[in-house]
């Protein structure tokens, strides 16, 4: 199941980190749904697209750069220095970009209901 050599404090910190992204994404999606009542679909699309692209930018140019600086001295080779990590922040940003356009499909399509 897990590594038996990992102590309880480390296991608990690993376990609690699994809640970070879902706890961030749920309010972000809820706020997008609430904004749909106040904003036009075009304004909501622009807002979600901007926010999603910003998160993708941060993942590529801030977080990936930080990861590369943590690699050993061998990271000076061209293959490693052009490496881009696409992790949780990128996935959240890409989801917001998709949501920006999916909201034009209508509420039934987004909820998975069959249109009549």
The tens digit of pLDDT for each residue in 26-53 reads 888 888 889 988 999 999 999 999 999 9
CA diameter of the chain? 61
pLDDT by residue for the chain (116 residues), tens digit each?
556 777 888 888 878 878 887 888 888 888 888 998 899 999 999 999 999 999 999 988 887 776 666 655 544 554 555 566 678 888 899 999 999 998 888 777 767 666 55
Query: What is the rounded distance in angstroms from the CA atom of residue 14 to the CA atom of residue 116?
Result: 45
Query: What is the rounded distance in angstroms from the CA atom of residue 32 to the CA atom of residue 44?
Result: 8
Query: What is the rounded distance in angstroms from the CA atom of residue 91 to the CA atom of residue 103?
Result: 18
Query: What is the rounded distance in angstroms from the CA atom of residue 26 to the CA atom of residue 73?
Result: 39
Cα-flanking dihedrals φ and ψ of residue 61, to 5°?
-105, -15
Phi and psi based region of residue 72 (left: phi greater than 0; alpha: psi -120 to 50; beta: remaining): beta
């Amino acid at each position: 199941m897990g590594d038996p050599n990992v102590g309880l404090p480390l296991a608990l910190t690993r376990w609690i980190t699994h809640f970070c992204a879902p706890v961030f994404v749920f309010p972000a999606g809820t706020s997008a749904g609430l904004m749909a009542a106040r904003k036009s679909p075009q304004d909501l699309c622009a807002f979600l697209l901007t926010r999603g692209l910003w998160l993708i930018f941060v993942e590529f140019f801030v977080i990936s750069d930080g990861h590369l600086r943590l690699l050993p001295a061998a990271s000076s080779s061209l293959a490693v220095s052009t490496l881009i990590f696409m992790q949780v922040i990128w996935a959240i940003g890409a989801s917001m970009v998709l949501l920006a356009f999916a909201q034009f499909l209508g509420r039934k399509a987004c909820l998975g209901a069959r249109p009549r």
